[in-house]
Each structure stands twice: as structure tokens, then as C-alpha cells.
Structure 1
Amino acid sequence: MELNRDKRVLYGRRRGKSLRKGQQALINQDLPLFLVSIQNEKLDLAALFGPGLGKYWLEIGFGSGEHLAWQAHANPDTGILGCEPFINGVATLLGKLKSDRSTNVRIHPDAAESLIEKLPENTLDRCFILFADPWPKSNHNKRRFVSTSNITALARVLKAGAELRIATDHVNYGAWILWHMLQSNSFDWIAETPEDWRLRSPDWPPTRYEQKAIEKGLKPVYYRFRRNDQPWQ
């Protein structure tokens, strides 16, 4: 299957090892069933997912899809958009969705920014950014997804009361995330005690990247922010 790629600069890999025969079959045969088209001026999520769904969530950079697949299976009444340009991860997620028989997922195998800008205002009920590349070198910090412009973009599409979950195992990036989020007037940090950002809630399953970090002795942080009713501009 030939994918339409966004022309914006994308940092990071699109492919890893060559896809196995079964993975390539998933890309060729199953991905078209889940693919999001961003050709129209605005996305109509009700039309994209079909009837019967009361909420819409977004996961940015779903990696191998462990978290997204778990959420889709646990929340069949929720339509979940997933963005991931790494095609090997897309293939892995498709395998999980097929195994779970989940149909409430739509995939954008490219930069999240190009999908977010197509979403209408006040559309999403939840968003996840879990263990994204921290781009630790200072001259690469501009590549980090959490930025003033992207926070503003998310504030536009998240409903008042919607939750934004961000996790990282990188100390510097964790501080960067918190600083940028606290600069925004559109989000409130949901934290009263250290356990609120040191521990995952029961509805927040682990990812493969998180488990690798913990095995190395790293201590992830799990931030939760709530979209308030302030204007997003």
C-alpha cells in the first residue's frame, strides 16, 4: 500500500527492520480499513467512525500500540485516533486490533500535527502523549512534540474538561513538559500529591518503552492535565 506522506519536516524513523510477510499483509489489507484521510478541510469524526460512539480520543506516537490497543478494547464506545509515522509500529498495532477484533480505531501513519489541524474545535475528550522521543541534545530540543505551538493546537481541539496525559522516563524532558504546560492558561495540572505523577492510574496500562525504562532503573513520570474553559488563543 502506498501512503500519502505529509510534506512537513518529520524527525525520527519511518521504518526499522524489513516488515515480515504477515506484517506487510496487515499494511496492505487491513490499514486501508483503519486509515484516516486528511484530504478534506476538516475531519468529521462521526462520519469517520460511524454511529454509536460517544467520545473521541487521540494518541500521539503510539509506538507499538500496546496502550492504544488496550484502551480500544476496554472502551468500545470510544473512537480512538492514533498517530504514528513508524510503519513497523503501525503493523504491530494492526495485529493487536485484529486479535482483539477492535474496530473503534483510526490510524494516521504520519506527523500528528497534520491531523490535529484538521480537527474541529472542542472535539476530543482525551489525548495521550506517552514516552515520546525526548531528543536529549540541546540543539535538538526544537524537535520535541511538547511545545508552545502544539500545546495551543491541542487546547483548540480538546473539550473543556478533557484530559491530556503525558508520560516520559527522561528527567530533562519531564521538566521541559511541566514547564511548558504550566505556561499555558488552557490547562490545569491534576496533581495534589507526588503519587499523582509518580504512579499510573488503573486505566493507564504500561507500554513496552516504559517497561524497558523501568528495567534500566529509570523512574517515569505520569502527568495528567485537564483542559479548562479558558480560550485557547
Structure 2
Amino acid sequence: MFEFINNSEDRGQVGIGTLIVFIAMVLVAAIAAGVLINTAGFLQSQAEATGQESTDLVSERIDVTSEVGIVGNNSTGELESIKISVSGAAGADQIDLSESTLQAVGPNGQANLVFTDTNASGGDTIANASQLNASEFGVQDSNGEFVDGGDAVLDDDTDYTIVVNPGTQPFGSITEGNVYADGDGYTYAHNDSAEEAFGEGQTSSLEIVSPSSATTSVELNAPDLFTEDGEAVRL
């Protein structure tokens, strides 16, 4: 009924074949395990990165505390500057405003505004909003001084004010900022009657995008009537 292999050479050949098959199975299993481990590590890293990005989108957000316009010329109903006070959202880490972007839509089109700490005339410092070019914004500290890029960082103890020029696109009609003043010392966004600045009854919308791509929406709505030069009006 049973066949026995009495030849020792035949028995050795069978053992070697079995060993080869066993080693091959071990190698295949090892390779498969390596692939699974590498895949699991990649998926874990990707999940951690995605989770961090999602957390940043929620926590690394810029809060807006007020939107104010400073009237430059009451007779023409135009603003001299637009100021948006901002702070870091609760639980946020430091947020670099110089790396943030403003996506603006106004009466004269749309534009992406980036941070600047130099004025439109090429000087080293900015004195007021009329020195800001189109597609640029400046940042003021609590003393009303424009700050350099390295200092424009929101944290738990420091808030700042984003400043834009209402005379430049997309708020106004001019493409470059310039300083114009009358005899009383008020500065205006332009000195040409054919140009116009953001003013009475006009609206604009902003998206403040932090470095982590967290977005804060802002709606600017100017009052229908300004009463005096230099006054601050809520937007």
C-alpha cells in the first residue's frame, strides 16, 4: 500500500526541493510584509499631514475686530484710508501677516493684495495709506506706526491693523498710490477729478487668507453720507 524510498540519494533530493520552496515562501512573505509596512508608514504620514492642515485651517485663522474708514474729503464723499483691526483666533499660534493675502473685490474690479513695508514713492517707510500701491496693504501697530515685515506677527499679546488705500484698485480707480494734501494737511487718494476713491454708499468684500490658507471674510459697507473731513466711520 505504501511506497518507501529506500535510496538515500532520492530522499536528499526531495528534502532540498522542499527547503527551496520553503525559502521562496519566506522571501515572498518578507517582501509582502515590507511593502505593507512601507505603505502603512506612508499612509500614516499622509494622514498626520492632512490632520495638521485641517487643524491649521480651523485654528490658524485671523479674526477681524473692526472695520473703519477715515474720511479724507467730505465734499467728494471719499475715504483717505481703510483700516481693518485683526487678531489671532482663539488657540491660534503666531500668524505672520506679511505672508498673508487679501483677496479683494470692489467697485473697480478685483485684486490680490500682498504685504508691503515700503511706500509707493520708493521710500523706506510708509506715512499713510495714500502711499500704498494697488495690490498692496500695510500693517500698523497699536501706536499707528507702520511696521516692517518681520514685526507684523499676530500672537496672544499683540494685535495689528491692516491698512489699504481706498484710492487704488479694486477700491478706487488709480493703479498707483501717491501722496496728495490740501492746505489743511489732509491727505487724499488722488488729485485728479477723473479719478475716484472708495467712498459714500459703496461696498467691497475681502477674504483675508492666512499663511495656512485659513480664510476670514470681511464686508465693507460705507455709510451713505459723511459729515466731516478726518472723521472715522464704521464700514
Give the shorter-chain TM-score range. Answer: under 0.3
Return the structure number with greater relative CO, CA threshold 8 A, min gap 6.
2
Q: TM-score, normalised by structure 1?
A: 0.24
Q: TM-score, normalised by structure 2?
A: 0.24
The structure with the larger Rg is 2
Of Structure 1 and Structure 2, which has the larger fraction of its residues in strand?
Answer: 2
